[in-house]
Amino acid sequence: MANTRFAWEDNIRKVVPYTPGEQPKKNNIIKLNTNENPYPPAPGVVDVIKNFDCDSLRKYPDPTVGNLVHAIAEVYDVKDEEVFVGVGSDDVLAMAFMTCFNSDKPILFPDITYSFYDVWAELLRIPYETQALDENFHIIPEDYMKENGGVIFPNPNAPTGVLMSLENIEKIIAANRDVVVIVDEAYIDFGGESARGLINKYDNLLVVQTFSKSRSMAGMRIGFILGNEKIIKYINDVKYSFNSYTMNRVAIESGVASVTDTGYFNECVNKVIKTREWTKERLKERGFIFEDSKSNFIFAKSDKISGEKLFEELKKRDIYVRHFSKPERINDYLRISIGTDAEMKKFVETLDCILENN
């Protein structure tokens, strides 16, 4: 039966899917593998959920996501028409791919980056070319100054955590005025300068952000795009042609409560940054090699043990980090999300135990 060929398979689109980080079904673990925020969402989010009118769930949500769009626009000092909201940044990026990348020319993105980009390109049959990072995992701006069908890259990049200067980002945008440039800022709040200030200068720029990392709402799935209102309209047209009611009522109200609490947001981000810097120092003391991270994770390798072995040894001790076996260039690196102070201290203590017995 396993070898039986079905005729209908000739008409099936076959893709190699994105592999998400492991979600262990265990208690009492230290989970540092999916870049989740270790702190709870804003208190107002809890109030929304506790007091939510469940009877309203029998009605469709607002397809325009108007309240959340307006709240984001006010916080980021843009017009409502310059905001698109979707179900996590993966959803809004997919909508942007469908809307903006329709040339016969290849889109460009880094060879070591968020591994969903090539999956979407394959799924949507968008030609693409990857551009190699330099020996220190930095994006080379000049590699994106050639004929193409669009450009996308994260800033800071993932999984490397390396931040590109706003000056170099602007060089890439200015060199590609005939296509759309997407800057994926999932981790920008942890130490970088956003490119959103350039959207009024460049009508071909889209800036993507998410509530999953700095706003502790990975489980709620909220992402958004800031950009020229004409492109935002085109993306909404695609959304309404695909699924009008993408965001549920609970998520909309929770998103408003989260984005408007800037005090709590800043407090959480600063705690993560402080713990990240402490962890960097501890890793340096133990001979780990890494580029400076401006995200909520560190991409590092040991000079004493292979990445795969260290990954497995940590996992045996119920500490989960992320290991990428491909490309070969990064197979000795681990991506270590920043947890609470207590979690990172336990992580370092466990490292010492593993390294001493290696």
CA 81 to chain centre: 23
Whole-number pLDDT of residue 2: 57
Whole-number pLDDT of residue 101: 98
pLDDT above 70: percentage of residues in the chain: 99
Give 158-181 pLDDT, tens digit per residue: 999 999 999 999 999 999 999 999
Q: Sheet harboring 205-210: ordered strands across? A: 83-86, 223-227, 205-210, 181-184, 150-154, 107-110, 128-131
Do residues 183 and 205 lie in contact, with contact meaning Cβ atoms separated by under 8 Å?
yes
Whole-number pLDDT of residue 4: 74
Q: Sheet harboring 334-337: ordered strands across? A: 289-290, 297-301, 334-337, 322-323
Whole-number pLDDT of residue 24: 87
- The C-alpha atoms of residue 44 and residue 253 are separated, in whole angstroms, by 10
Give 10-54 pLDDT, tens digit per residue: 898 888 888 888 888 888 999 999 999 999 999 999 999 999 999
Do residues 177 and 202 lie in contact, with contact meaning Cβ atoms separated by under 8 Å?
yes
Domains of the chain, each with CATH number or no CATH: 26-40+263-356 (3.90.1150.10), 43-260 (3.40.640.10)
Run means of pLDDT, 10 residues per run, the chain, 358 residues: 76 86 88 97 97 96 97 98 97 97 98 95 96 97 98 97 98 98 98 96 98 97 98 97 94 98 98 98 97 98 96 97 89 97 98 93
Whole-number pLDDT of residue 239: 96
Is the pTM higher than 0.75?
Answer: yes
38 Ramachandran zone, left/alpha/beta (phi>0; psi -120 to 50): alpha
